């Protein structure tokens, strides 16, 4: 379906989702927001404070050695996370390159054979409007998510764009019954075990996952400003590409710094444990 060979709806040789870390936890945009306050200096300072507190409280006993082992394992875990983020950086750069190539091509008519990623011409009837909470440029608001019912009765998950919280209700009420415009066809977001379930009562979703809402599995549409309706904050092609977060270098350096601080502290505590053992002898 949409040009993707069986058994999977798309070619997964190169992941095409923005938010592949969701298999480990959350999607990229949530991760990006949660990591913005975390820097190598903050993490290093936290570990240093923890080190001083623990060193001052450890008595001359076997607890010193136990803490050294635990700290060494924690440092290695930070090293693994740093390596994982370097791998993620390489993947995200490849993904952005694919999106950039798609942006250079003219929009094509959406058909079941269309391959992802691609900018496509699409028309359909929006179904129920769901909201996904998001902060954009320090403004609280929502992504408007719907299933766009096409002429062939397929329903494809569509992100209509971001709206400020104060404007959401009026804009949702005035969305036309038929939409026609340009959209980016791409892979949808894969939820994880940490993703909350859909809130049917409040109309909230926490991952743009097509199958969860009953849409065509594995793909979604990003609505562009090239369409006249609805008048959300959906961007043009260049803004779509610029809006894809790629902070994996920052994350990799953060975990690397934490690993280095942890190894230094482990060495200090290991030497102190040796001194304590000699003192006890």
What is the residue-level pLDDT of the chain in tens, covering all 281 positions? 555 444 444 443 443 333 333 433 334 444 444 444 444 445 555 555 555 455 444 444 456 677 788 888 999 999 999 999 999 898 888 888 888 888 788 888 999 888 888 889 999 999 999 999 877 666 688 889 999 999 999 999 999 888 888 888 888 888 889 988 888 898 888 888 888 999 999 999 999 999 999 999 899 998 886 555 555 656 667 767 666 778 889 999 999 999 999 898 888 888 776 665 555 55
- Would you call 59 exposed, middle or buried from its count of C-beta atoms within 10 A (0-12, 13-18, 19+)? exposed
Peptide bond just before 7 cis, omega within 30 deg: yes
pLDDT score for 16: 36
For the stretch 193-225, what's the b/e string if a residue is b when 16 or more beta carbons lie within 10 angstroms of its beta carbon? eebeebeeeeebbbbbbbebbebbbbbbbbbbb
Looking at residue 15, its pLDDT comes to 39
CATH no. of 109-242: 2.40.50
User: 88: number of CA atoms within 13 Å, CB side?
Assistant: 26
Helix residue ranges per DSSP H, 36-175: 40-57, 63-103, 165-173
Q: How far apart are CA 237 and CA 242, in angstroms?
A: 9
Q: Which residues pair with 239 in a beta bridge?
A: none
* Cα–Cα distance list, 210 to 180, 195, 206, 221 (Å): 20, 14, 12, 10
Provide CB contacts within 8 A for 263, sequence distance 6+. 72, 75
């Amino acid at each position: 379906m949409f040009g993707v060979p069986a058994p999977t709806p798309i070619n997964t040789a190169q992941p095409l989702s923005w938010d592949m870390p969701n298999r480990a936890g959350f999607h990229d945009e949530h991760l990006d927001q949660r990591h913005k306050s975390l820097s190598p200096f903050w993490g290093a300072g936290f570990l240093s404070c923890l080190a001083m507190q623990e060193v001052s409280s450890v008595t001359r006993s076997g607890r010193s050695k136990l803490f050294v082992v635990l700290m060494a394992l924690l440092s290695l875990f930070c090293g693994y996370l740093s390596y994982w983020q370097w791998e993620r950086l390489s993947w995200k750069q490849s993904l952005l390159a694919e999106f950039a190539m798609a942006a250079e091509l003219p929009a094509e008519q959406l058909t079941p054979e269309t391959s992802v990623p691609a900018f496509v011409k699409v028309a359909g009837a929006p179904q129920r409007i769901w909201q996904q909470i998001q902060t954009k440029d320090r403004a609280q608001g929502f992504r408007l998510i719907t299933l766009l019912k096409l002429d062939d009765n397929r329903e494809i998950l569509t992100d209509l764009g971001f709206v400020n919280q104060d404007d959401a209700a009026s804009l949702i009420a005035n969305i036309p019954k038929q939409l026609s415009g340009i959209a980016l066809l791409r892979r949808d977001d894969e939820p994880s075990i940490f993703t909350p379930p859909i809130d049917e009562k409040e109309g909230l979703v926490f991952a743009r996952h097509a199958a969860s809402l009953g849409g065509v599995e594995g793909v979604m549409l990003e609505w562009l400003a090239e369409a006249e309706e609805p008048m959300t904050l959906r961007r043009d092609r260049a803004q779509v590409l610029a809006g894809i977060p790629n902070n994996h270098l920052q994350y990799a350096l953060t975990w690397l710094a934490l690993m280095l601080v942890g190894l230094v502290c482990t060495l200090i505590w290991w030497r102190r444990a040796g001194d304590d053992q000699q003192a006890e002898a």
